Amino acid sequence: MEREKLIKRLIIKCFDIHSVNISKKNGIDKNKMLIDKDCVNQLMQQEKDIKNVNINIIKPREHNCRIDTIMDFIPISTKVLGRIGEGITHTLTGVYVMLTGVNTKGVQMSGFGSTDGYLKDNLKLGCPGTPEEDDYIIHFNVVLKGDVPTTRELSLVAHRACDIFIQQFRNILKMKDGRLADEIHEYVERKSENKKRIVVIKQVAGQGAFHDNIILPAEPSGVKGGRSIIDMGNVPVILSPNEYRDGAIRAMT
Amino acid sequence: MGLGPSTKETTLHHFRDPLLNIISKDKDIDLIGIIVVGTPQSNSEKYYVGRRAATLAEAIQVDGVIISVDGWGNSHVDFANTIEEIGKKSIPLVGISFIGVQGKFVVTNKYMDTIVDINKSPKGIETEVLGENSVSEYDCKKALAFLKLKMKRKKE
């Protein structure tokens, strides 16, 4: 008989979004997402290196638009109970945030290879790290001040700004009734005695600006509360499978 | 450094990483954890962190390792070194990396005999299209199948 011991449980509840629209107030209501574009620049007042931020809603299959380089695609998820890797997480499906960045001198915020240009030419849909054809994209474009050197800190400024914006929706998503979720996934970590033990090593970037990763932020796929792999000296950090699938890494590559 | 858009793993990629989905669904496998290791700038640091990763894998007494790398070129120095350190400890291992035509290994060693190439572009290059050369479920299934075979051979 195979002996298994239950060690941890993570429940991810998905709320599917069917439409995203501009509104006077941020909100998530019955598969509809509303965004107040004006809230953004108010939120950014603390960030002195940012000139301005623009929010656009890109509808499914309307990718014939010009963008600055894509810094990241981020899911909107939040902890409802427990810390990353345990308890309950709420996440939105059907919509993802696309962070793009440039400075006022036109320098693209990317390391090697930029994806600025027409979105349709620079994005392969349907990959694990990119949206599906039917997904909405909330385009968060950061324009940074041109006289600030493009350092690690500047990349962090863009990601932090985007995180502050996403947090507005996390706070709303936290309050959603879990029973109304469109999908519920339960992940149980079991300690097993008769199976082959495997570890996955993920070698991630850690060389400097645009080659950084934040490990274990306070909110899934967030920035705040996490530690940069560079600041940790790039030494290995072990995550449980549930921590990893609960958004333990914020890629700033 | 060689970290282009087509191989770049976004935050969304980590959130729904096919590697994790495939391995944790397999009934013969107990996934112990995910070791996240950085890619430092200097060579001495590259060796330092690679040795730490290998020692950690040995300490937690795993039967096998799958190692993937986000990037190529300079990052392959770290990749090759970590693989060598794990190989020296006689732990079966499979690597996952972008290789294609453009990303041929700059350094190799005898333990790098099982690497799954995630290139999807017809020309084998960094296409600068976000996601194009990213790890797919198929790549992960292949890596896991190779690892199972290597673990079985070691037992024999």
Across residues A207-219, what is the average pLDDT? Answer: 94
Judge whether residue A2 has pLDDT over 70: no
Q: Is residue B3 part of a domain?
A: no
**Alpha carbon separation from A189 to A174, A242, B38, B151 (Å, rounded):** 24, 7, 26, 23
- Judged by a CB distance cut-off of 8 A, whether residue B124 touches chain A is no
Size of interface A-B (CB pairs under 8 A): 271
CB interface of A with B, residues 15-74, below 8 Å: 70, 72-74
Distance from the Cα of A215 to chain B's closest Cα (Å) equals: 9
pLDDT at A23: 95
The verdict on ipTM greater than 0.90 is yes
**8 Å CB contact of B15 and A215:** no
Q: What is the mean pLDDT of residues A104-123?
A: 93
B38/A251 CB distance under 8 A? no
Of B23, B129, B147, the CB nearest to A122: B129
Distances (CA, A) of A50 to A101, A140, A143, B31, B86: 10, 13, 6, 42, 44
* SS3 of chain A: CCCEEEEEEEEEEEEECCEEEECCCCEEECCEEEECCCHHHHHHHHCCCEEEEEEEEECCCCCCCEECCEEEEECCEEEEECCCCCEEEEEEECEEEEEEEEECCCCECCCCCCCCEEHHHHECCCCCCCCCCCCEEEEEEEEECCCCCCCHHHHHHHHHHHHHHHHHHHHHHHCCCHHHCCEEEEEEEEEECCCEEEEEEEECCCCECCEEEEECCCCCCCCCCCEECCCCCCCCEEECHHHHHCCCEEEEC
State CA B139 to chain mean position distance: 11
Domain annotation covers residue B5: no
Predicted local confidence at residue A209, as pLDDT: 86
Residue B37, pLDDT above cutoff 90: yes
In this predicted model, what pLDDT tens digit does every residue of B118-148 receive, in sequence order? 999 999 999 999 999 999 999 999 999 999 9
Cβ distance B131 to A127 less than 8 Å, yes or no, reads: yes
Q: Does pLDDT of A253 surpass 90?
A: no
- Mean pLDDT, range B48-61, rounded to an integer: 98
CA dihedral of A150, A71, B98, B53, whole degrees rounded to 10:
70
Distance from CA of B10 to the nearest CA of A (A): 5
Taking CB atoms and an 8 Å limit, are B56 and A232 in contact across chains? no
Instruction: Provide the pLDDT for residue B1.
Output: 37
Establish if B26 belongs to a structural domain: yes
pLDDT score recorded for residue B2: 47
> Which structural domain range is residue B57 located in?
11-155
Q: Return the C-alpha torsion angle B51, B53, B58, B64, nearest 10.
A: -120
Instruction: List CB contacts (< 8 A) between B147 and chain A.
Output: 198
- Over range B50-59, report the average pLDDT: 98
Which chain A residues contact residue B71 at CB under 8 A? 203, 205, 253
Q: Does B115 map to a domain?
A: yes
Q: Would you call A204 and B38 a contact, using CB atoms and an 8 Å cutoff?
A: yes
Q: Does B147 reside within a domain? A: yes
> B25 lies in a domain?
yes
Start-to-end Cα distance in chain A: 46
Phi first, then psi: give them for residue A192, nearest 5 degrees: -120, 145
Split into its structural domains, chain B has a count of: 1
Strands A249-252 and A77-81: unpaired
User: What are A14-45's pLDDT values in tens digits?
Assistant: 999 999 999 999 999 989 999 999 888 788 88
Give the pLDDT of residue B156. 77
Quickly tell me which residue has 């090759």 as its tokens: B80
| A84 in Cβ contact with A247 (< 8 Å) | yes
Rounded to an integer, the average pLDDT of B53-73 is 96
**pLDDT of B71-105, one tens digit each?**
898 899 999 999 999 999 999 999 999 999 999 99
Which chain A residue's Cα is nearest to B30? A197
Q: In the predicted model, what is the mean pLDDT of chain B?
A: 95
Share of chain A above pLDDT 90, in %: 85
- Is the pLDDT at A7 greater than 90? The verdict is no
| Residue B69 counted as domain residue | yes
pLDDT in tens, A145-203: 999 988 999 999 999 999 999 999 999 999 999 999 999 999 998 888 889 999 999 99
Best mutation target among B14, B120, B141 (most A Cβ atoms within 10 Å) is B14
Residues 6+ apart with CB under 8 A from A152: A208, A209, A212, A228, A230
- Asked whether residue B77 is assigned to any structural domain, the reply reads yes
What residue type is A61 in one-letter code? Answer: R
Query: A205 contacts in B (CB within 8 Å)?
Result: 1, 3, 38-39, 70-71, 75
Q: Which residue from A196, A230, A245 is facing B63, i.e. has the nearest CB?
A: A196
Confidence band for A3, pLDDT divided at 50, 70 and 90: low
Element (H or E) spanning B14, and its range?
A: helix B11-15
Structure tokens at B112: 């790098």
